[in-house]
Structure 1
Amino acid sequence: MKIKLESLQHQTDALAAIDEAFSGMDTESNDPAANYIYANPLIKNRYNDKANIDIKMETGTGKTYVYTRMMYDLHQKYGLFKFIIAVPSPSIKEGTRSFISSSYAKQHFSEFYENTRVRLNVINAGDFSARSGRRNFPAQLSEFVEATRQNSNQIEVMLVNQGMLHSKSMHRNDYDQTLLGGETSPIRAIAATRPVVIIDEPHRFPRGKKFYEDIEEMKPQLIVRFGATFPETTSGQGKSKLTRVDYYRERPQFNLDAVDSFNQGLVKGIDVDYPDIPEEKANNLYKVKQVKAKELILSKGSKEYSLGVGENLVDVDPGFEGNITYAGGTDRELSNGLALVKDMKLIPGTFAQSYQKEIISQALDCHFKAEEENFLRPNSDDNAPKIKTLSLFFIDSISSFRAENHNKGWLAKLFEDLLKEKLQSLITRYELAIGDREKEYCSFLQATLKSLQSEHQVVYAGYFSKDRGSSDADIQAGVEDILSNKEKLLSFKDKDGNWLTRRFLFSKWTLREGWDNPNVFTIAKLRTSGSEISKIQEVGRGLRLPVDETGHRLNQDEWQSRLSFLIGYDERDFAQKLVGEINDDSPVKLNQEELTDDMIRLIVLAKQKIDPNFNKVQLLDDLDAHNVITRSNKFKDDVELGGRTLSGYKALCQLYPEIEQQTKVAKDKVRDKNSKDTTTVKLRKHNWQQLKNLWQQLAKRQMIKFDPSVNQDAEIVARNVFNDSNNNVFVLQRPQMVHQEVVTEDSSAFVRETQADYITEYLTMNYGKFLKILAQQTDLPVNLLNNLMIQAIKRLRNDTNYINEKTLGNLIRNFNNQFSERLKTSYSYEPLEFSASTSIYNAKKQEFVDSVPSNVLGIYQSNSTSDEKYLYDRPPLRYDSADPELKILKRSYGPNISVFGKLPKKAIKIPRFDNGTTTPDFIFKIKHGTESIYLVIETKAENMRLGDEEIHIIQQKYFDQLKGSGVYYRMATSEQEVHDLIDKLENGKLN
């Protein structure tokens, strides 16, 4: 396959911004060297920050494409022909080299710049090695420096990483040859060419530091920095200390920030997974207090533990499995390769091989879930091109992957075993397939397994710093595929029609920045990165949108691709931090005290996309009319808006939601278990007032009165539950892998979480705590429970491992279920003399609330035309099921229906005999002659969910006592059934 580059709008916008910011050429210069043929023409404001430009583009949005095309543009328009690209690391350098020299990039740019080509000169370590006793310049350096303007169709580019740029070889002046007729120092010869310097990843080249000084020594006329992150600078001291981002010209000339990148679908969305561990183990953590070359000091609470080089962590805590020692030295690492930094947290339970095994296993599950979707392309044309799926593993120990003499380490062996198991399982499933695409996928899986079982497998590969120059052919082939053969990694077959099965890649942060492959769908971190690097940078290797087998890059409208990111328990707040980092990247900081100029500018620009005539004056007039701001643009404290009292800032967000939409990442872009739906739905007070007389009755509290025989029934049920003859109640428990995601429909969100066991020691809990919770949740006497537990444990051969949270849950659930069966008809409601507030009604004020959280009405939403009889402002409608709830809400009702609507959760709070409360789903007020009657509905799908019947019995018993108030209660399975009930009530035929 051949990658097909496309000119994307945000990239052409960046190029336009560069063109506008470019200061121009000095055409009337009196400098006698202006026409020096070895150097660039003279730029206005050269050697000055007035000329320099910053372009901010989020990871994965194509900054390499933009700066490559920028070189073509500046050459075509101004004759500039000597450019230096400075990158932080060799891996980034290799990625840049691969892109610029690729056939697909050359073909793409030839469409815009006919007959113009780039000659790329890459400076690598070892290029300056002395030969035959003479110290000569590398050929690529000589070619760059001594190229002239006479070849008007050629652009000279030198690519160098910061380590090479800072080396003695670039700065010494004792070479046995000269450049430009007299220069003996490479750095001075480069400076003579008056280059334009492009800095990739500018946060790695902060001003005032050694690597930026190397840039300055090349005396660039113009510097253009491209990056997602820029260096910071600090001024002042103490309380007046100020930290700001260090931009040329005080701001980037183009800013595609993280919020825009995620919200506009320019990068993949992200799911985060981590394996859970018991609370007791999670709280058993150590902090790195000091890390020195010869000593490591850990702290836990007030205690400190000192380890010298070679001393074992297991002596501090037995949970540090695997014979891990402190290696010390300049790298400050453990023997497993984990780099340590001050304040880093170490949880012993996460060092077990079984823990890393679960992360790998879960990563493979994520990989094959994505791979099946990408290969089979469900719900699309049968001929839709396939998408190759890659996964990336970051590990802490190279030796665990690649042992001595190029043998496989324990981690590689473990990975192979897990991969073989999953492949065999999938093959068994797809061998019975009848569809052509499924058969093709089965063949791909079989080829993968066959390669994995061969002597020289080509399914997975690693790239580590020590791999450079390795003599092992398999290692070099893998490194070449990872660093250089992007098209091969994205292809399914070679030129002979054989499957290309390489798709699992391993590294030790060597590929953290710069390297990219658009089809990485899973990233697994088997250990923390050891430092607080950018969370966006960590996920950045998998953010780029994928390409299919034809080389076409898919946008989010064509294929909803997501990145699965697996981490350890010690980083379980990763998603929350990532969301915060994305939001912090917004150039506009929201001020809840006053309306700033930046906030005004943001709103105006957003509104002008719809109304080009909208301006600042209109905005301020509107806010003034709604009494939101003072004359000095301060927000007022209490603003009446839509029947509610809000702060001025909240009122602004209600009137102009664009302000938060453009400064915060959308909920579905990073799925975070802590995300909550905070949107509200406004009540139509005039409609609710028609229900006020009824609600004053419903607000009266009710007490459940049980029959006298229930205590005897409870003991009978308890003895039956504890006599677990089938071993379904008393079970053993192991830790679990937790998968969390925030699932959204339109603008609403809810959390979905799944769990699975993994192999390690059994989990248990304190027996006293076990009994206490059991007594609280069942209302059974502790003495009775203790006697029953003693009998049960004896039956289980005195194995106390059965005393755990799962057993506790089973006992509580089984008891409550069986006891509830006996209680269904053994109680009655007894009204009390006081009222209580609910989600919809303030009993103290005797009035309805102004609004309710949207999620108490339903987790889904749908736009619909307005109905004046509905209880809430709409659109959108909120609902929990498409059938029957949504159909009921969308149906048109006759003139006898006064008001109708969905009841929020906890709107009535009917007490349940099995604890908790319940509320029906719908209410209708119906005109019947001169009177009004009420129909209350509990809905259920035709496949009744567990507990629906119990809820129906509870609610029926409750509303039976209110029939004299004109209230009728029914359960309904369809909107037609609701319509029939209304019809019967209107005609007096419903008893």
Structure 2
Amino acid sequence: MRIKLETLPHQTRALEAINKKFPGIDKYSDDPDANYIYANPLIKGRYQEKNNIDIKMETGTGKTYVYTRMMYELHKQHGLFKFIIVVPSPSIKEGTRSFITSDYAKQHFSEFYENTSVQLNVINKGDFNSRSGRKNFPAQLSEFVEATRQNVNQIQVLLINAGMLNSKNMKSSDYDQTLLGGETCPLKAIAATRPVVIIDEPHRFPRDKKFYKMIEELKPQWIVRFGATFPEITEGRGKNKVVKRDYYRGEPQFDLNAIDSFNQGLVKGIDIDYPDLSKEEASNLYKVKSAKPRELTLTKDGKEYTIKNGENLADIDPEFAGSITYEGSSDHLLSNGLALEKDMKLIPGIYSTSYQDQIITEAIDKHFKAEKANFLRPNNAPKIKTLSLFFIDSIYSFRGSKDGNGKGWLAEHFEKILTKKLKDEIEEAEFAISDREKEYASFLKATLKSLNSDNQDVYAGYFSEDNANSDEEIQKQVDDILKNKEKLLSFKDKNGNWITRRFLFSKWTLREGWDNPNVFVIAKLRSSGSENSKIQEVGRGLRLPVDENGHRLPQEEWQSRLSFLISFDEEEFASKLVGEINSDVRIKIDKTKLTDDMVDLAVKEIQKDNPDYSKKDLLNKLGKLGVIDFDHNFEDRVTVDNEEMSGYDAFMKLYPAVEHKTHIVEGTVRDMKAAKIDPTRIKLRKSNWDMLKDLWQQLARRQMIVYSDGMNEQAASIAKEVFRNDDNFVIHSREIIHQEIRSGQDKTKVEIRDTRQDYNSGYYTLAYGKFLKQLAVSTNLSVNLINNLMIDAMARFNNQKKYINEKTLANLIRDFNKRFNEVLKENYHYQKLDFYSNTSIYNSQKQEFVDTVPATALGIYSDNAVEDDKYLYDRPPLRFDSTDPELKILKRTYDDKIIAFGKLPKSAIKIPRYDKGTTTPDFIFVIEREDGQNSYLVVETKAENMRKDDEVITSIQKNYFDQLKNSNVYYKMATSEDDFRNKLQEVEDSEEIN
């Protein structure tokens, strides 16, 4: 399989924010080196920290994609071609290198940036080693520094980690070579290229520390920092002391925080699990009194225990199993990698072999639960490969003794537990009926066969010690984990054999930098300490998965969550994680007073549908309702929608987006020991849905859009107009415009004289064949027609190939589609086909409704609801996307004529759009008629000032339902709760119902 990248809306918004804040190229500089061919063009406001920007994106949302795309975009738009990516560690460097150099990334970016490529130069430890007695520069460094602007299609990127940047090799000047004709110091040579610097994981580069100072030595013209977390700074002293995040310009220029990431379904939801300990085991705990480089002091029941370097903790308590020793050092480490801090608690029982077996067993159970759901997806949807990641104490517990002989005890235990589980699953799979179930049984059998072979391929490990290991089998495992992401995500190799590897082991080596979207289980067989970021710990499993075809899947299209298994000493992990997520917001909620920040946030959300809405409008409404007083304090009691509550609760009820933007949705992170129900899925009330079965058998029948006769001729006619429009044909070149102000000949006037200079040769063009193909795909026009129109058009431009480029392509596509869609919307109808399709709510093969749907498919907000037997779903809370009219419609009380109602999930009815894609209305109502039959009211809710796309959607839906030719189905569009009430009354009063 090949991963297929796509640009997601939040990534597009990040790129737009970067483009908006880019200072621009200084085209009028009098710097004599402005056109220095080894350096970037000069940027306005260069070298000024106030120009730098921050882009905040949560772990797993694609910041590496965004900054890679940013480099392409800045090169295309402004001619910048030298970038430096600075990362904190070698592991993150490897992850970045792997992405940028991957075939799937290169293919994706080539679709947007024709003939442009990235030359990635990576500097690693050992690259400066002397050869033949001479001290030379690494080839990667020379390539980056001495590349010129003359290669207009290549972007030069230098990737370096903090330790390498701060090394003596980078600062030294005693090389036997020179760069740029005379420079002997790498740092100075790099600075001469006037680079743009990208900082990944900025919290690891505080601006007052040495690593950031080294970045400043690179003399970057512009810095863009990308991260989920930024450094902290302290301002003031004593009671006035304030700790806050250190942002350029005081705030991120794009802020996709943890709350938005989880609430918008951009990352997986999380289930936290841990095995119980007996009361006796749980109370047997030691506390760290002090941890020094050479000595550790623990206390228990008032007694002190001293452990020196190399001594075993089992000497003070046999429950500390696994030969755990104190290694000391400046990090105060145990031999299992745990960094100790004062007052940390240690529970010996969680280090026992039997306890670790419990976690392994639970992790394997969680794995197969997720794997079956992902393999046996409803409606034979493409399979999802399921991976599990284990963080363990020691490489020797996995690989065996230091000499590499045999297997470690943990690997042996894992194999034993996994073998038993596989046999149980295979026995159950013997009763498989469907082809997909039989296929899964084959996958399980291949897994067991491999596990029992001499060279099993079911699980693998990667540890930092592996970098010095020459064993061929170990190197193969390491390469598969680090470099062969697509292989890990695939089910079969090129010969059709099952790829059974899906369990991975590491000693925190994969904690950062490495990622795989299909990690569904993470098991920690060791404690991580008290101060680590909880989001960082779960970060390896947050990304949304891809299916076997490489397509990224939105959250509503799969059911599994990330299962995160921890030990008993971290039982508060879930609450700490929720607290960390909720703290990742710059707007603080005040429950006593309406703050300006709260008002601004509410107004900003309303303006998405009503651009003219103002702060004054909101305050007037809250004042009239009695929610706030004249000083904007919340009133103690107020009645809203016949319900009494506090003013603060009323505000949140009226503007749920405020809470949604400042608090994670309940159930996104679950402590499975406390969880009783699954708030992430909504159960259908089948008795009510069965009233809709006859209708859904009609709706499940596929409909094809058929265009009116003569549309091909109209399309050809429109195409001729588009290709005759000379404004659509543009030249795509880069120029520096130098303007001089001079006195005119008569000395009484001044004149501005422009001098245009190409700072690279040639123009951006597209291959003619690719140009025609993309036009044909995007417009559905025949290649022959396009070719003939292009011949005529190019004759007007003297057949200059420079007009055949991406900008011309985009102009032609946009102009044609805009004109043609105006004609299409009046000239199409639906034609029923002879086959049926499944939707998110209905299985057409079994002719029955599904059991549950994802909560996010019904709406991003939630609200408590009074139990109503007519509702289509079994369990509150209500899910909705807007307060008015959606929430108000859901909370209304309906007369006896309405016998069932509810909100429709996304993709419940797949109505084809003439402009591509599908659409689904918002609500459905079952109305009992006097003749005992049922009628159905389908409702789409929109704001009064509908946007263009809203008008298209309502037009399509009306057309679709009108052509059902079924008198008992009514379609209405409502812009408010009052509007809905009137439309409902019209239907109830109709002659057909009465």
* 1:118–1:634 CA distance, 2 compared to 1 (3 A): same
- 1:200 paired with 2:200, answer yes
Say if 1:53 and 1:224, in contact at 8 Å, map to a contact too: yes
Partner Cα separation in structure 2 for residue 425 and residue 261 of structure 1: 38
Alpha-carbon distance in 2 for matches of 1:135, 1:264: 53
After TM superposition, the structure 1 = structure 2 runs for residues 857-936 of structure 1, keeping only pairs within 5 Å, are 859-860=875-876, 866-867=892-893
Instruction: Determine if contact 2:865/2:891 at 8 Å carries over to the other structure.
Output: no
Question: In the alignment, does 2:534 pair up with 1:535?
Answer: yes
| 1:281/1:349 contact within 8 Å kept | yes
Q: Corresponding residue for 1:655?
A: 654
Question: What's the CA shift string for 1:550-602, capped at 9, x where partnerless?
Answer: 11111112223311100001111111111111111123211123222221111
Counterparts of 1:891 and 1:154, CA distance in 2: 65
**Which deviations, in whole Å up to 9, do the C-alpha atoms of 1:680-716 show, x marking residues without a partner?**
xxxxxxxxxxxxxxxxxxxxxxxxxxxxxxxxxxxxx
Instruction: Please state if 1:400 is matched with 2:335.
Output: no
1:744 aligns with 2:742: no
| Superimposed CA distance per residue, residues 719-757 of structure 1 (whole angstroms, 9 cap, x where no aligned partner) | xxxxxxxxxxxxxxxxxxx584651167999xxxxxxxx
Query: Secondary structure of 2:26's partner?
Result: coil
**Residue-by-residue CA offset, 1:762-809 (whole Å, 9 max, x unaligned):** xxxxxxxxxxxxxxxxxxxxxxxxxxxxxxxxxxxxxxxxxxxxxxxx
**3-state SS in 2 of match to 1:355:** helix
Cα separation, 2, equivalents of 1:855 and 1:51: 55
Distance 1:630 1:63 in 2: 44
1:66-81 matches, within 5 Å, as 66-81=66-81
Q: CA deviation at 1:893?
A: 14
- CA 1:572–1:150: 2 relative to 1, 3 Å: same
866 and 337 in structure 1: CA distance in 2 versus 1, 3 angstrom threshold: closer
Counterpart of 1:440 in structure 2 is 439
Within 1, Cα distance between the matches of 2:557 and 2:528? 34
Q: Distance in 2 between matches of 1:205 and 1:518?
A: 27
Is 1:386–2:376 an aligned residue pair? no
| Worse-superposed segment, 637-646 or 519-528 | 637-646
Is structure 2 residue 451 aligned with structure 1 residue 452? yes
Q: Identity of counterpart residues, as a percentage? A: 64
The 3 A distance-change label for structure 1 pair 861 and 199 is: closer
Query: Once the 2 structures are TM-superposed, how far is the Cα of residue 5 of structure 1 from its aligned partner?
Result: 0.7
Deviation at 1:640, TM superposition (A): 4.5
Q: Show CA shifts across 1:446-480 (max 9, x none).
A: 22222222222221111111111310111111111
1:75 match: secondary structure: helix
Distance 1:869-1:8 versus aligned 2 partners, 3 A rule: closer
Is 1:48 the counterpart of 2:45? The answer is no
**Any conservation in 2 of the 1:748–1:861 contact (CA below 8 Å)?**
no
Does the CA contact (< 8 Å) of 1:82 and 1:157 recur in 2? yes
Paired residue for 2:592? 593
In 1, distance between residues paired with 2:287 and 2:926? 57
Per the alignment, residue 127 of structure 2 pairs with 127
**Matches of 2:133 and 2:506, distance apart in 1:** 38
- What is the SS of the residue equivalent to 1:461? strand
1:112 counterpart letter in structure 2: F
Distance in 2 (CA, whole Å) between partners of 1:428 and 1:748 is 30
The answer to whether residue 525 in structure 2 is matched with residue 526 in structure 1 is: yes
1:662 alignment partner, SS class? helix
Q: Corresponding residue for 1:506?
A: 505
Secondary structure (helix, strand or coil) at the match of 1:290 reads: strand
Is the 2:373–2:559 Cα contact (8 Å) retained in structure 1? no
Distance 1:856 1:354, change over 3 A: farther
CA distance in 1, matches of 2:867, 2:191: 63
**Residue pair 1:191, 1:217 contacting (<8 A) in 2 also:** yes
Greater Rg over alpha carbons, structure? 1
- Measured in 1, the distance between the counterparts of 2:535 and 2:336 equals 26
Q: What do the CA deviations read for 1:849-902 (whole angstroms, capped 9, x no partner)?
A: xx99969998546786844789xxx9999xxxxxxxxxxx999999xxxxxxxx
Equivalent position amino acid for 2:596 in 1: D
Counterpart of 2:176?
Answer: 176
- 3-state SS of paired residue (2:249): helix
- One-letter code of the match for 2:659? E
Task: Report if the CA contact (8 A) 1:91-1:483 is conserved.
Answer: no
Distance apart, 1:366 and its partner CA: 0.7
Q: CA deviation at 1:276?
A: 0.7
Residue 16 (structure 1) aligned with residue 13 (structure 2): no
Matched, 1:366 2:366: yes
SS of 1:427's equivalent? helix
> Any idea what the Cα deviations from partners look like across 1:922-962, whole Å, max 9, x if unmatched?
xxxxxxxxxxxxxxxxxxxxxxxxxxxxxxxxxxxxxxxxx
| 1:386/1:548 contact within 8 Å kept | yes
For the residues of structure 2 that align with 1:481 and 1:746, how far apart are their CA atoms?
A: 35
Partner of 1:62: 62
Which residue matches 2:819?
A: none
Are residues 345 and 856 of structure 1, via their aligned partners in 2, closer, same or farther at CA, if it must alter by over 3 Å?
A: farther
- Which residue does the alignment assign to 2:31? 31
Flag structure 2 segments of 5+ consecutive residues without an equivalent.
685-862, 879-888, 904-924, 931-994
Q: 1:8 to 1:876 in 2, by over 3 A?
A: closer
In 1, Cα distance between equivalents of 2:343 and 2:867 = 39
Alignment partners' CA distance in 1, 2:558 and 2:864: 35
Q: Which moved more, 1:393-402 or 1:544-553?
A: 393-402
What are the ranges of 5 or more consecutive residues in structure 1 without an aligned counterpart? 674-737, 750-850, 878-888, 895-991
Residues 746 and 861 in structure 1, CA contact (< 8 A), matched pair in contact too:
no
What is the root-mean-square deviation in Å for CA atoms of aligned residues?
2.6
Does the CA-based 8 Å contact 1:337-1:398 persist in structure 2? no
Alignment partner, residue 825 of structure 1: none
- Quick check: 1:287–1:298 contact (8 Å CA) kept in 2? yes
Are residues 551 and 853 of structure 1, via their aligned partners in 2, closer, same or farther at CA, if it must alter by over 3 Å?
A: closer
The range that moved more, 354-363 or 853-862, is: 853-862
The answer for the alignment partner of 2:94 in structure 1 is 94
Deviations 1:586-626 (A, max 9, x none): 23211123222221111012122333332211100011112
2:668–2:680 contact (8 Å) kept in structure 1 = no
TM-score (norm 2): 0.69
**Per the alignment, do residues 865 and 633 of structure 1 end up closer, same or farther by CA in structure 2, a change over 3 Å counting?**
closer
One-letter amino acid of the structure 2 residue matched with residue 462 of structure 1: G
Residue identity in the other structure for 1:195: P
Q: How does 1:549-564 map to 2 (within 5 A)?
A: 549-564=548-563
2:544/2:554 contact within 8 Å kept: yes
Superposed displacement of residue 256, structure 1: 0.8
Cα separation, partners in 2 of 1:856 and 1:327, compared to 1, 3 Å: farther
CA distance in 1, matches of 2:651, 2:356: 48
CA distance in 1, matches of 2:927, 2:222: 66
Find the aligned partners of 1:890 and 1:860 in 2 and give their Cα distance: 20
Q: CA deviation at 1:301?
A: 4.9
CA spacing shift, 1:556–1:233, aligned 2, 3 Å: same
Distance 1:638 1:740, change over 3 A: closer
Partner amino acid for 1:60?
G
Instruction: Give the distance between the partners of 1:609 and 1:600, measured in 2 at CA.
Output: 15
Whole-angstrom CA distance in 1 between matches of 2:643 and 2:877: 23
Say if 2:864 and 2:876, in contact at 8 Å, map to a contact too: no
Counterparts of 2:114 and 2:461 in 1: how far apart (Å)?
39
- Please say if residues 272 and 565 of structure 2, whose CA atoms lie closer than 8 Å, have aligned partners that are also in contact: yes
CA distance in 1: counterparts of 2:676 and 2:669, whole angstroms: 8
Specify the SS of the correspondent of 1:275.
coil
AA matched with 1:160: I
Secondary structure of 1:372 counterpart: helix
CA contact (8 A) 1:394 1:507 kept: yes
TM-score by length of 1: 0.69
Do the aligned partners of 1:274 and 1:739 also contact (CA within 8 Å) in 2?
Answer: no
Q: Are residue 610 (structure 1) and residue 618 (structure 2) matched?
A: no
